[in-house]
C-alpha cells in the first residue's frame, strides 16, 4: 500500500485493500519474524530456560542429602520450599532479559532505520501500530515461554522424579507458578515495549529496561538491611512484585501476595503503555 493510499485509511481505491487492524497485525507479525534477531532471541530464551532448570534440579537433588545446602537455600524465599515447580520455572529470571530486549527492539529498530515513517504513512492513526506490536510481542512471548517451560520440564522430569520433587500438575500452586511464569514474561515484554516506544532509541530503551529489571532490585535489596524504607520500596518494584506470581510457598514478610504483586506489575505496564500511546500520537516520527 502506498503512502498516498493510506492517507484515508478507511477507504481505498479499487483493487487496494483498506487498512484494518487485522492487516496491521499481520504486517507486524511478518516484520518481527522476518528478523534474524527474533530467532536468535527465541533460542536465547528457550535454551537457557531448559539449561537453568537442569542446574536447579541438580541443586535441589543435592539439597535432599545436604543439610548445609538446605540451610543456605532457605535464606532465599524462592528456594525455601523446594519443589519441581521451582526447578522448571527457574529460568524465567534469565528469559525476562531476552524477551525485554526483543520487545524494545520491536519498536526501536524501526526508529533507528527510519522505517517507522513508512509504517506511520501507511497507518496514519498510529495507535493501531502500537497495539499491533503489543499483540505480536505478547503472542511471541507466550510462545517462547510455553516452549521454554515445556523444554525445562522434559529436561528435568526424570531427575526430579528420582529425588521425589516431580512437578505436580494437580497442585494448584504448581500450576500457578507455571502460568505465572508465562504471565510475568508477557507483562515484562509489554512494559519493555512501552519503554522502547517512549525512548525510540535502542540503547536508551535497553539500558532503562535492564536497569528496571536488574539494577534497581539489587540496589534496594542491598539497602533493605540497613533502611526500613528501602525494604518497602523493594517490595513495590515492578519485577519484585510481579515475580511473586511465580513463587511457591508462603509469602515472606514484607513482600506482596502473588495476586497483588502481579496486578501491580500489570499496572506499571499499563501506565507506561498509556504514556507511550500519547507520545506516539503527538511526536514526529
Q: CA–CA separation, 273 vs 29, rounded Å?
A: 19
Complete DSSP assignment for 211-248: IIIIIHHHHHHHHHTT-HHHHHHHHTSHHHHHGGGT--
Joined grid coordinates for residue 55 = 542446574
Pure H helices in the chain: 21-33, 36-63, 67-74, 84-89, 92-113, 115-122, 127-162, 172-199, 202-210, 216-224, 228-235, 238-242, 258-282
Joined grid coordinates for residue 18 = 483498506
223 CA to centre of own chain: 26
Q: For residue 255, count other CB atoms closer than 10 A to its CB.
A: 19
pTM: 0.90
Tell me what pLDDT residue 61 has.
Answer: 83
pLDDT per residue, tens digit, the chain (285 aa), is: 344 334 334 444 444 568 899 999 999 999 999 999 999 999 999 999 999 999 999 988 887 777 777 667 666 666 667 789 999 999 999 999 999 999 999 999 999 999 999 999 999 999 999 999 999 999 999 999 999 999 999 999 999 998 888 888 999 999 999 999 999 999 999 999 999 999 999 999 999 999 999 999 999 988 987 888 898 899 999 999 999 999 988 888 889 999 999 999 999 999 999 999 999 999 886
Tell me what pLDDT residue 283 has.
Answer: 86
> Cα dist. 107→17, 96, 117, 130, 224 in Å?
25, 18, 12, 8, 36
Tell me what pLDDT residue 245 has.
Answer: 95
60 CA to centre of own chain: 26
CB neighbour list of residue 183: distance below 8 Å, 6 or more residues apart: 245, 262
CB neighbour list of residue 272: distance below 8 Å, 6 or more residues apart: 191, 194, 195, 198
Tell me what pLDDT residue 7 has.
Answer: 38
Amino acid at each position: 500500500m502506498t503512502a498516498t493510499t493510506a492517507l484515508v485509511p478507511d477507504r481505498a481505491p479499487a483493487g487496494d485493500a483498506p487498512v484494518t487492524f487485522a492487516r496491521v497485525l499481520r504486517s507486524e507479525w511478518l516484520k518481527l519474524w522476518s528478523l534474524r534477531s527474533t530467532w536468535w532471541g527465541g533460542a536465547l530464551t528457550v535454551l537457557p530456560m531448559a539449561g537453568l532448570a537442569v542446574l536447579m534440579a541438580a541443586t535441589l537433588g543435592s539439597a535432599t542429602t545436604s543439610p548445609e545446602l538446605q540451610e543456605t537455600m532457605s535464606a532465599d524465599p524462592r528456594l525455601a520450599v523446594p519443589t519441581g515447580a521451582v526447578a522448571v520455572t527457574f529460568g524465567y529470571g534469565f528469559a525476562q532479559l531476552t524477551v525485554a530486549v526483543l520487545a524494545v527492539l520491536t519498536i526501536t529498530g524501526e526508529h533507528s532505520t527510519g522505517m517507522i515513517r513508512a509504517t506511520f504513512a501507511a497507518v496514519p492513526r498510529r495507535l493501531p501500530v502500537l497495539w499491533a506490536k503489543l499483540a505480536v510481542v505478547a503472542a511471541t512471548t507466550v510462545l517462547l515461554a510455553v516452549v521454554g517451560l515445556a523444554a525445562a520440564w522434559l529436561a528435568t522430569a526424570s531427575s526430579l522424579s528420582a529425588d521425589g520433587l516431580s512437578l505436580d500438575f494437580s497442585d494448584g500452586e504448581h500450576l500457578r507458578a507455571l502460568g505465572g511464569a508465562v504471565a510475568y514474561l508477557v507483562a515484562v515484554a509489554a512494559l519493555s515495549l512501552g519503554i522502547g516506544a517512549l525512548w525510540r532509541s535502542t540503547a536508551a530503551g535497553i539500558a532503562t529496561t535492564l536497569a528496571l529489571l536488574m539494577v534497581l532490585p539489587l540496589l534496594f535489596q542491598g539497602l533493605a538491611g540497613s533502611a526500613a524504607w528501602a525494604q518497602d520500596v523493594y517490595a513495590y518494584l515492578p519485577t519484585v512484585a510481579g515475580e511473586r506470581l511465580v513463587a511457591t510457598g508462603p509469602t515472606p514478610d514484607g513482600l506482596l501476595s502473588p495476586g497483588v504483586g502481579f496486578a501491580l506489575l500489570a499496572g506499571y505496564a499499563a501506565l507506561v503503555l498509556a504514556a507511550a500511546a500519547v507520545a506516539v500520537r503527538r511526536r514526529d516520527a
